[in-house]
Amino acid sequence: MTLSYLIRRLGAVLLVLVIVTFAVFAVTMILPGNAAVMILGEYGSPDQVAALERQLGLDRPWYTQYFAWVAGMLQGDLGTSLRLGMPVSKVVGDALWNSAVLAVTALVGVTIIAIPLGILAAVRRGTASDLGIGVLAYVGTAMPEFVTATVLLVLLAGPATGLFPAGGYVAPWESMSGYWAHVALPAITLGLVMTAHISRQVRSEMSDVLSSDYIRAARLKGLHERRVIRRHALPNSMAPAVAVISLDVGYLLGGIIVVEEIFAWPGLGRTLIYALENRDLPVIQAVTLVLAMVYALTNLISDIVIALLDPRVRYD
Amino acid sequence: MTSPFRSYPGMVGGLLLLIVGVAALFGPWLAPYDPQQFHPQVRLQGPSAAHWLGTDQFGRDILSRLLHGAPSTVFFGIGATLLGVAAGTIIGVIAGVAGRWVDSVIMRIIDGFLAVPDLLFTLLIVTILGGGMGHAMLAVAVAFTPGMARIARSAVLSIRTREYVLAAVARGESSVYIVGREVMPNAMGPIIVEATIRVSFAIMIGATLGFLGLGAQPPSTEWGLMVAEARQFMFRNPWMVVVPGIAIALAAMGFNLFGDALRDSLDVRRSH
């Protein structure tokens, strides 16, 4: 990996973020009814609306508003929530932290489970375990999060079993057992789709590698099968796995919106739904930007990891 | 090209699509009861001879509601995908054929849009337009456009330098002829495969919007909305949530499996 590659990728990410700020700003400009109308409600007189618009700076041309908004953001000022009356940075900051707890739990769990599943399916190609993993993968990709979540709730949180609480959030640093109980169902819901993707990707990559000449050479020179897989096949099939994991962060960021809403997890997704329902513009803008930023950074990190894992990756 | 029905995924996917297709086309006529008719004596029941898939909180027949909801659920997915594919293909082909700065500008903008997860993007657009089936469909189509544009562009780029295209250029054919008769027919494979798979995502997103109250509105029997309405009663009659949930999953799985089989038989690799 060269420094110029790194700089170019970083530049591309920055460009994407600038375009995202434009898109988010444009979307909120198109929204019918601006912030002044929303604060005053439908019954505000035109004079009141005009006065408040002046006060909020909404009568300025769009580019002045855009640059004022971006400048505020760069200084950590995301504005004030129209409904909650709190600084957006506080609302979104707390939610981001809670979402991160859920997302990281799901992602770590998925990585631990999906990669061995994919390897198992590739090594035992054509057997019952391969078929089982394949069917699981297809079912997993076809279940929308709200269906998985609802089915899990019926099965595991109902009065009949009552194994898990139906929703809510406990931080791991407050009570470890409470955290596990609350995080289990939302994390499994989010993880199902990702497990399906990742195990399928690992399987197909691993199958390609296992039928290559250097694996045959390794076997012919009498290496133990375990060693062939661990030292020869595995490292060469990891780069695509990293790529699909980073793509799946996109799913994860969409999935948390629904999953947090269903399990009453006080994260970015629940905040966004609340803001959308109440047309709380500054919060909608901030959550969208944060989610897009996390996604862009994930892609950057995964590009770097892939370049480190696989020297054949072209640097242009 | 071999038939996609020759492989197991293709067979299972084809079978699922057949079932879903029959339900979507003829569901309302196959339904044994009126989907909105109350049967107060038999509320929240499990499957029985009279009500094969049980009844809801008003004693309405779940099978009949499911069959009546099939057209709106399935055609939502197909319609949204077709719109998104059409818009994305036009943009992608323009970028791929024009090349140079036009391509760069279009692709940078598309990269920006692709940085926003699909569901988030759809939610934002639905908020702008207001809820409802038509708006939700438009929103999914817009959310699909950048991804489809990217795939169409890469399909065009891989064709553009082939000998038969260069030959058409050398013959002095018009650019409309070259794009329409030489490039597009050969670039359609990856686009069709991606579109088939995306129908399953569109069905899932549509159902999710219905579930969140931003898509289909009551008294519609769209499947996502059925799950949402059943949630209050899910512990008293699990069939109410499980039946429409499984229906959504089967429809999505059908398109997914069939798309995969189609990809194998057309021999295209997913390129993003």
What is the per-residue pLDDT for B1?
59
Show the tokens assigned to A121.
Answer: 């399916």
pTM for the whole structure: 0.85
Same domain for A126 and A96 = yes
| Structural domain includes residue A82 | no
What is the predicted ipTM?
0.83
Same domain for A132 and A18 = no
- The arithmetic mean of pLDDT across residues B140-161, rounded, is 88
CA of B178 vs chain A CAs: smallest distance (Å): 30
- Give residue-wise pLDDT tens across range A187-243: 999 998 888 888 888 888 888 888 888 888 888 888 888 888 888 887 777 777 887
Same domain for A232 and A160 = yes
Same domain for A256 and A182 = yes
In chain B, residues with a C-beta closer than 8 Å to the C-beta of A19 are 108-109, 111-113, 115
Same domain for A94 and A66 = no
Show the tokens assigned to A158.
Answer: 């109902």
The CATH number of the domain holding residue A177 is 1.10.3720.10
- The arithmetic mean of pLDDT across residues A69-85, rounded, is 80
Whether the Cβ atoms of residue A130 and residue A124 lie closer than 8 Å to each other: yes
Same domain for A248 and A221 = yes
Same domain for A252 and A117 = yes
- Give residue-wise pLDDT tens across range A11-52: 888 888 888 888 778 776 666 555 666 666 667 777 777 777
- Give residue-wise pLDDT tens across range A136-155: 888 888 888 889 998 888 88
Whether the Cβ atoms of residue A274 and residue A216 lie closer than 8 Å to each other: no
- Indicate yes or no: CB of B252 within 8 angstroms of CB of A19: no
Last residue of a domain, one of A28, A48, A74: A74
**Annotated domain spans of chain B:** 8-271
Partner residue facing A295 (CB), from B115, B204, B228 = B115
Q: How many domains does chain A have?
A: 2
CA of B272 vs chain A CAs: smallest distance (Å): 10
For A274, name the nearest residue in chain B, comparing CA atoms only: B212
Q: CB contacts < 8 Å between A and B, how many?
A: 130
Same domain for A241 and A122 = yes
- The arithmetic mean of pLDDT across residues B115-120, rounded, is 81
Pick the CATH number of B8-271 from 3.40.640.10, 1.10.1060.10, 1.10.3720.10, 3.40.50.300: 1.10.3720.10
| Structural domain includes residue A61 | yes
Where in the sequence is the domain holding A34, given as residue range(s)? 3-74
- Indicate yes or no: CB of B235 within 8 angstroms of CB of A159: yes
Please state the three-class secondary structure of chain A as a single string.
CCHHHHHHHHHHHHHHHHHHHHHHHHHHHHCCCCHHHHHHCCCCCHHHHHHHHHHHCCCCCHHHHHHHHHHHHHCCCCCECCCCCCEHHHHHHHHHHHHHHHHHHHHHHHHHHHHHHHHHHHHCCCCHHHHHHHHHHHHHHHCCHHHHHHHHHHHHCCCCCCCCCCCCCCCCCCCHHHHHHHHHHHHHHHHHHHHHHHHHHHHHHHHHHHCCHHHHHHHHCCCCHHHHHHHHHHHHCHHHHHHHHHHHHHHHHHHHHHHHHHCCCCCHHHHHHHHHHHCCHHHHHHHHHHHHHHHHHHHHHHHHHHHHHCCCCCCC
Same domain for A113 and A138 = yes
| Residue B128 in contact with partner chain A when CB distance is under 8 A | yes
- The arithmetic mean of pLDDT across residues B63-68, rounded, is 89
Same domain for A193 and A46 = no
Partner residue facing B128 (CB), from A20, A27, A145 = A27
| Residue A153 in contact with partner chain B when CB distance is under 8 A | yes
| Structural domain includes residue A83 | no
| Residue A15 in contact with partner chain B when CB distance is under 8 A | yes
| Residue B269 in contact with partner chain A when CB distance is under 8 A | no
Nearest to A273 by CA among B127, B204, B218, B129: B127
Same domain for A238 and A109 = yes
Chain A neighbours among B 194-253 (CB < 8 Å)?
200, 204-205, 207-208, 211-212, 224, 227-228, 231, 234-235, 238, 241-242, 245, 248-250, 252-253
| Residue A165 in contact with partner chain B when CB distance is under 8 A | no
Nearest to A166 by CA among A175, A174, A158: A158
Same domain for A168 and A61 = no
What is the per-residue pLDDT for A313?
61
| Structural domain includes residue A121 | yes
| Structural domain includes residue A81 | no
- The arithmetic mean of pLDDT across residues A106-133, rounded, is 86
- Give residue-wise pLDDT tens across range B159-175: 888 888 888 888 888 88
- Indicate yes or no: CB of A143 within 8 angstroms of CB of B235: no
Chain B neighbours among A 251-290 (CB < 8 Å)?
251, 253-255, 257-258, 261, 272-273, 276, 279, 284, 288
Three-state secondary-structure class, residue B55? strand
